[in-house]
Each structure stands twice: as structure tokens, then as C-alpha cells.
Amino acid sequence: MANTGKTVVITGASSGFGESAVRAFADRGDRVWGTMRDAKGRNAAKKAALEAHSPLVSIIEMDVTNDASVKVGFDTIIAEGSVDILINNAGVMYLGISEAFSVAQAQEQMETNYFGAIRAMQAVLPGMRAAGAGLIINTSSLVGRISPPFFGTYTATKHALEGYSQALRYEVAAFGVDIAIVEPGPFGTGLLGAGKPPVRQDVLSAYGDLAGVPTAMGAHFAELLTSEGAPDPQWVVDAYLKLANLSAGKRPTRTVVGITWGTDEINRLTQPIQDAILKEMRLDTVLSGTDA
């Protein structure tokens, strides 16, 4: 199997940004591993289509919420060779009255969006540090920096991912490894439609008419994101490709894509403050190569 580029792992390859990114990285000559759940069942057709796209593509079973599944998957990948680029794209999103989601529902999202990303990162970081090179792209969201109503449980997962990624970026830069965050706005990828409604019906009843607002909001977004002139999901894939093409140590900490809702301005204002904290903590001489 010809492999003239990098070895790239993309989680959540069954749909949306992940599915498109598998094709895009293979098209530029990279060896691409896409991961998805139920690859031999409900997603078997998607697995077959992606593998038929290029001989450089392999799709493997992986549930990022399960330690054993992640280990088996990455053992298979790393047996062929080290990973150069990891794109954490797997994600779930629930929209609704925040209080009405159960703790279990909040945990479901956290297991995929936050702990799942950590599991994948911990699988590839030893090899990247040993090689003195590597890139991890974590797919966050605008709501990883802001907190609009009705996205509370989802927003919490992305704020967690952002915090972890920022700290890790500082820590692994000295090993030649870059951590980059991509913050998409709303896109028509089906993420919203795949979510679950809140299960605490007694709480929903207590909110009265307000309880119906998230459903109306979801319908509005669905209409907007399928209309002419809607943001193109390819923009996010292009952001992945651009980050991959940049030189090590020169990649921005955060890249906002699509509708910004002011997040680009938040990043512009706060990143210098964040970086200045290193000097205040007297860590600037310990940590190096953290160009933001």
C-alpha cells in the first residue's frame, strides 16, 4: 500500500467533518485510519464507501468511550507505524433545558467529547514525543468559549476539552508536538439531529413555555443550515488541512471556522493574557516553543 505522506487518525469518521476529512487526507497522499462505532453493523456501508475511496484508507471499529476499544484500535494502528496526526472529531451534542438533562446524559456527552479525546491523545502521545514531532487537532466548538442557553451540558464538554488542550499544548511543545483547537460554528452535519432530548420530564414541566424554545431553536438551525448560502462543512476540513500543512511550532492555538458569534474576538483578546500567565507563574523558561 503506497504511503507517501503522513499517518493520520480521524475519530468519528462515520459522518460530518470526520467522514469528509478521511477522503481529503487520503486524496493528498496520507495513510488514513478512520474510526467509528459499529463499523461492521449499521455503519458497514460507510466503512465500505470510505475504504473504496482510496487504498490509503482503513476504517476500524473504535468506541472512544471505552478504554479497551480505544486500546485495541490504536494497537492495530500503531502496529503498522507511528501516528503523525490525530484529529479528535468524534462528538455528540444534546440541545435542551440544561437542568432537565440527567447526570447520566451529561456523562454520556463528557465520555465522548472530553474523555474520549483524552483516551485517543494518550494513545498517540508517547510515540509522538519519542519521534519529536506530531500534531493533534481537537475539534471543539464556538461554545467551547461561550455559553449560550440550552447548550449547557454540551458546552461543558467543550470547555473541558479547551482547558485540557491549552495546558497540554504548553506541556508537549518542547517535544515538538503541536496541539491545535478547531472551533466550528454551526454547520449542517447532522450533529444536532443525532442528539437526545432531556429525560427529566418533571423539570421540563416546571419551565412552562420556555421548555419548547430549544425545539424551536433546533428547527430554526436545521432550516438555516440547509438553506442556500449556509456554511459549508468543507471549511472545517480545509482548516484541518491548513493546520497539517503549517510548520511545527507555527500553528495557532485556536482556529474559528464559519459563523463566529464573537469567538474569534474572544480568542484575540484572551490568548495573549493566557500566554502571559506563564511568565507570572515563572514557567516561561521551563516551557518553550509555545508560539500561539
Each residue's pLDDT tens digit, 233-256: 999 999 999 999 999 999 999 999
The confidence score (pLDDT) of residue 277 equals: 87
Location of C-alpha cell 460554528:
185
The confidence score (pLDDT) of residue 19 equals: 95
Nearest to 156 by CA among 105, 86, 202: 105
Cβ-Cβ contacts under 8 Å for 242 (sequence gap 6 or more):
255
pTM for the model stands at 0.92
The Cβ of residue 249 has, within 10 Å, a number of other Cβ atoms equal to: 13
The confidence score (pLDDT) of residue 3 equals: 46
Longest dimension (CA), the chain: 60
User: How far is Cα 44 from Cα 265, in angstroms, rounded to an integer?
Assistant: 42
The confidence score (pLDDT) of residue 1 equals: 42
Q: Residue-wise pLDDT tens for the chain (292 aa)? A: 444 589 999 999 999 999 999 999 999 999 999 999 999 999 999 999 999 999 999 999 999 999 999 999 999 999 999 999 999 999 999 999 999 999 999 999 999 999 999 999 999 999 999 999 999 999 999 999 999 999 999 999 999 999 999 999 999 999 999 999 999 988 877 776 678 999 999 999 999 999 999 888 888 877 777 777 788 899 999 999 999 999 999 999 999 998 888 999 999 999 999 889 888 888 877 776 444 4
The confidence score (pLDDT) of residue 194 equals: 75
Q: Is 116 helix (H, G, I), strand (E, B) or coil?
A: helix
User: How far is Cα 22 from Cα 12, in angstroms, rounded to an integer?
Assistant: 10
End-to-end CA distance of the chain: 37
The domains located in the chain, with CATH, are: 7-280 (3.40.50.720)
The Cβ of residue 86 has, within 10 Å, a number of other Cβ atoms equal to: 27
Catalytic residue numbers? 14, 140, 154, 158
The confidence score (pLDDT) of residue 291 equals: 44
User: How far is Cα 2 from Cα 55, in angstroms, rounded to an integer?
Assistant: 8
